[in-house]
Structure 1
Amino acid sequence: MKRALFWLYVLAFYALCQLISWGYIFIKYVPERMGMIIGEGMIFLAIFIMAVIRLKNHLQRERNYQQQQQNFLLSVTHELKSPLASVKLYLQTILKRDLDREQQQVFLGNSLKDIERLDYLVENVLLATKLESRTFSFPKENFELSEIVHNVVDRLQKNACKSQQAIVANIQPGLMIHADKFAIINVVSNLVENAIKYSPPCAHINVILEQREEGIVLEVADFGEGISDVEKRLIFNKFYRVGSEATRKTKGTGLGLYIVKSVLQKHEAAIRVKDNTPNGSVFEVNFGNYAS
């Protein structure tokens, strides 16, 4: 990419020199048309400069996108290797050592959590790939959203914190929608897992699902560091992750919120992020009144 930018600058400099040279020759031999030559030269120069700037910006965006893809591949590799190594260690310990039943149950339970984490990662990658296809459509059906949110919260509650309740849920029962069940489960899981990921250990996560005047609304609120106004406009981009790659400690691939936004758009639902009080972020999903 640096080489492409270098040759772009060389080409721009060469074209500018040619423009000045030919302009000088025309003016020298046809002085009575100097005004027209200068005017047309200025118009050409303005168009040329605009084209160079746009091409430079496009190359820069491509460079950033390639960097994000590289970060994504590194993240996926780490996300795959870490739980696989953990499961392998647990199973080897069970096979090589004479453990009592209680210890075996603990190790198997931890292995199951790592396998669920792998399954979640694979589901995200597969869904992100499907979303790239213009021909892909979601198979929609009627189902109870309240039950889906409850099941996701219950599953993540067990993995979030052992010492106390980490997820505080207020779920209105019996709320039905017409949507792709698998995709909506993925949306709810991504939002709640993100809230857990970017919160202090064992901090409370608030999950609210209720019927309002504007429709069925899902809120997921955390009390972490929050998201800056600049990053609020970027977090739904593919591969984008909050913070710096050099200092980031949280795991992830940068696909979660991209999937959330894309799935909700295809379901004619809206999502927005706002600041929580006293700190943290609130993700609010409005499924609208099309829910059945």
Structure 2
Amino acid sequence: MDSAWLVPAALAFGIALGAGVFAIVLMAARRGQRAADVVSTAVPDGVDQVLDALESAGVVLDPSNNVVKASPGAMAFGLVWHQALVHPELVALVDRVRRTGEPVTEELHLSRGPFGDAAIYLFVRVARLGARYILLLAEDRTESYRLEEVRRDFVANISHELKTPIGAVGLLAEALVSASDEPEQVKRFAKRLTKESERLARITQEIIELSRLQATDALTRADLVDIDHVVAVAIDQNRVVADSHRINLVSGGDAGAEVFGDETLLVTALHNLIANAIQYSPEGSRIGIGVSQRDGIVEIAVTDQGVGIPEDELDRVFERFFRSDPARSRNTGGSGLGLSIVKHVVQNHGGDIRVWSQPGNGSTFTIRLPEANRAVGASLGAHA
């Protein structure tokens, strides 16, 4: 065999073999990198910082649906527990996106956390994040749903509240016509007609007042208000009703307290608290109205010895048209707006209102307002 061609052939074979080995090594390296990518839990650059900055919920999941990154909001909403999504509904959305590759958007009603009874409403969007990860974003819509529910309740309640006196006025007017030849009947129906028309006027006025308090210009001018005078006027306005129920109204505490605000509105708020206390107090009992000053805050407390409020209703007493005892309220002509008006008056003055109560042992409603010498005028336009 001629050795002249063996050297080039061997050289060519060596080059080919080396190229093959290099290709194998390169493929192995690439496969190794892909395997490392699968094992790695690192999310794409910048995603960590974005999730940390989110006020809403954000979650990044790997191909096994393990949570590799979650925003503080996701933890607060109870969406993640033990590095996994809590809710099957969210897992189903993630699986659908992984299967189809298309982003999805849904509104979901979920429980807060794995064991929670509280409900949350979330606007959820799920989409791919690169080739491996799934990004889930959730915006809390719970407050929007709650406000919508309050609005529906308000419309329903106001329709009911107005329908009763309006219907009564119509029936009494017809009765007056029928009893035109009976003077005593006319007097009786006329008296009831006057009472129902007054009730209708009172509800309408309170609705107007509440709407005005919720407006942006509810407190356009703030004057120096003497709290002693506010207490005296509010007590005087309720004196006749209290006396008719043999209820003793007693005032006391620190004298000389002053706040910045609208005296008429503050009198209305305190009047409503005292009237509410009278309404739920037994005859022959006592209602105390006390004023105190401390740490730059003026407190006006109204304490009764009435029926009290169940603990599960304490958070609702300031809602419009809410009544702890509907039968008693309707019998006494209550509209269910009094405490809501109190809340908005106080908030418009930069303060807050608190309630303590125990069934059978009475209640205490406390208005807290910034003291005049420390109040900041600019804060008086704060609204609920």
What TM-score does the superposition give when structure 2 sets the normalisation length?
0.51
User: Is 2:237 the counterpart of 1:152?
Assistant: yes
Q: Secondary structure at the match of 2:273?
A: helix
Matches within 5 A, 1:108-187: 108-140=190-222, 144-154=229-239, 156-157=241-242, 165=245, 167-171=247-251, 179-187=261-269
Which structure has greater helix proportion?
A: 1
One of 39, 42, 51 as aligned partner of 1:39: 42
Residues 172-226 of structure 1 deviation map (CA, whole Å, 9 limit, x = unaligned): 6x988664244234313432443355x37x5566433345455563414251142
Number of corresponding residues: 251
User: Is 2:242 the counterpart of 1:219?
Assistant: no
Contact 1:205 1:220 in 2 (8 A): no
Contact 1:209 1:216 in 2 (8 A): no
Contact 1:175 1:211 in 2 (8 A): no
Which structure has greater strand proportion?
A: 2
Matched letter for residue 288 of structure 2: I
Matched letter for residue 250 of structure 2: N
Higher gyration radius (CA): 2
Higher RCO (C-alpha 8 Å, min separation 6): 1
Task: List runs of 5+ in structure 2 lacking aligned partners.
Answer: 1-29, 49-58, 62-68, 80-119, 123-138, 374-384
Matched letter for residue 47 of structure 1: A
**Identity fraction in percent:** 18
Partner Cα distance (2:208, 2:146) in 1: 23
Partner Cα distance (2:216, 2:357) in 1: 34
TM-superposed CA distance for 1:270, in Å, is 4.2
Partner Cα distance (1:69, 1:85) in 2: 24
User: Is 2:340 the counterpart of 1:283?
Assistant: no
Partner Cα distance (1:28, 1:206) in 2: 84
Partner Cα distance (1:96, 1:282) in 2: 49
* Partner in structure 1 of residue 144 of structure 2: 62
* Partner in structure 2 of residue 265 of structure 1: 347
Judged with a 3 Å threshold, the aligned counterparts in structure 2 of structure 1 residues 93 and 118 are, in CA distance, closer, same or farther, namely same
Matches within 5 A, 1:98-113: 98-100=181-183, 107-113=189-195
Residues 246-280 of structure 1 deviation map (CA, whole Å, 9 limit, x = unaligned): x9655577643332122112224443211258523
Residues 9-64 of structure 1 deviation map (CA, whole Å, 9 limit, x = unaligned): xxxxxxxxxxxxxxxxx99972233343x332896234389298576283344333
* Partner in structure 1 of residue 86 of structure 2: none
Judged with a 3 Å threshold, the aligned counterparts in structure 2 of structure 1 residues 282 and 85 are, in CA distance, closer, same or farther, namely same
Contact 1:226 1:279 in 2 (8 A): no
Judged with a 3 Å threshold, the aligned counterparts in structure 2 of structure 1 residues 265 and 67 are, in CA distance, closer, same or farther, namely closer
Partner Cα distance (1:187, 1:27) in 2: 75
Judged with a 3 Å threshold, the aligned counterparts in structure 2 of structure 1 residues 181 and 121 are, in CA distance, closer, same or farther, namely farther
Contact 1:27 1:34 in 2 (8 A): no
Q: Secondary structure at the match of 1:40?
A: coil
Residues 134-187 of structure 1 deviation map (CA, whole Å, 9 limit, x = unaligned): 3332445557324431343146448xxxxx515431246x98866424423431
Partner Cα distance (1:79, 1:167) in 2: 28
Matched letter for residue 122 of structure 1: T
Partner Cα distance (2:177, 2:366) in 1: 47
Q: Secondary structure at the match of 2:43?
A: helix
Q: Secondary structure at the match of 1:44?
A: strand
Partner Cα distance (1:99, 1:151) in 2: 39
* Partner in structure 2 of residue 241 of structure 1: 322
